[in-house]
Amino acid sequence: VEHYAGTVSEWVVVNEPYKDNEDGIDLYAKRIGPEYIDLAFQSARAAAPSAILILNEYNNETYAGEYTQHDVALINRVKKSGLVDAVGLQMHLDGANPPPREDVMYTMRAYGVPVVITELDVDLSDVTGTQQERFDQQAYIYGEMLEACLESGVCKSYTMWGIGDKYSWLERDFRRHNADSTIYDDDLKPKPAYFTILRILAKALGAEPEYKFP
C-alpha cells in the first residue's frame, strides 16, 4: 500500500475474513488473533491516509446472508476509528434463486458506510429453458442489482467478475460449462445483460446510448 500510495486510490484490505482454511480456522486469526483485522486496516490507513479502504466478503448482499451480520458488527466496531470506508459485496449470484432488489437495497443501507459491488456474476447452471430464456433471466437479475445500486443512495460502484462465459471462474475452475455467468458469451459477444445494463445507465444519466440495441 505504501509503495502505491498516491497511485492506487482504493484497496480491499481484508477479504473473506471468515473463510476457514483446511484446518477449519482462519489462518490469520489462528496466528495473530481476531485483532488482525484492526491491524490490517490500521497499517493500510497509515500507509495511504487518503485511500478508500474496503472490507470485502461474499454472501453478504441480503440481510439474512451468511456473513451479513458478521460484517455489520465488524463495521460498527472499526468505523469508529475511521479505519474502513466501504463494504465490498462480491455478489456471486445464483440465477435460479436471485436476491430480491428491495432486500439488497435494505442491506446496503444497513451497513452505515458506502458499499461497492466488487465481483458480480450470475450463475445460470440451474436455470432451465431455452438459451434465450436463460439469458433473459440473467439480464433481469443484472438489471435488478444495478437498479438496487443506483437507488440505494450508498452504492458507489458496480464491478463484474469475468470477461466472457468460457473464461469465467465457474467454467474454468469448477467445470460448470453451462454457468454462462458473464455479460459476454464464449465469443465475447454482448449478451442481453449487456444491453440491459446499458439501457439502465443511459436512463439514469438522461443520455441516449450510442449503441444499436438488438
Task: State residue 214's pLDDT score.
Answer: 60
Q: Which has the closest alpha carbon to 108: 89, 95, 92, 81?
A: 89
Q: Are 93 and 134 in contact (CB under 8 A)?
A: no
Task: State residue 60's pLDDT score.
Answer: 97
**pLDDT class for 79, splitting at 50, 70, 90?**
confident
Q: Are 71 and 29 in contact (CB under 8 A)?
A: no
Residue tagged 486510490 (cell numbers): 9
Q: What is the mean pLDDT of residues 156-167?
A: 95
Q: Is the confidence at residue 50, as pLDDT, over 60?
A: yes
Task: State residue 20's pLDDT score.
Answer: 63
Task: State residue 14's pLDDT score.
Answer: 93
| Share above pLDDT 70 across residues of the chain, in percent, rounded to a whole number | 94
Task: State residue 41's pLDDT score.
Answer: 94
Q: Is the confidence at residue 94, as pLDDT, over 90?
A: yes
How many angstroms separate the Cα of 205 from the Cα of each of 140, 148, 185, 201, 208? 20, 16, 27, 6, 9
| Share above pLDDT 90 across residues of the chain, in percent, rounded to a whole number | 80
Angle 13-16-22 from CA coordinates, rounded to 5°? 125
C-alpha distance across the termini of the chain, in Å: 44
**pLDDT class for 52, splitting at 50, 70, 90?**
very high
For 178-212, how does the pLDDT look when each residue is reduced to its tens digit (9 = 90+)? Answer: 999 999 999 999 999 999 999 999 999 998 766 66
Q: Are 93 and 126 in contact (CB under 8 A)?
A: no
Residues facing 11 on adjacent strands: 53
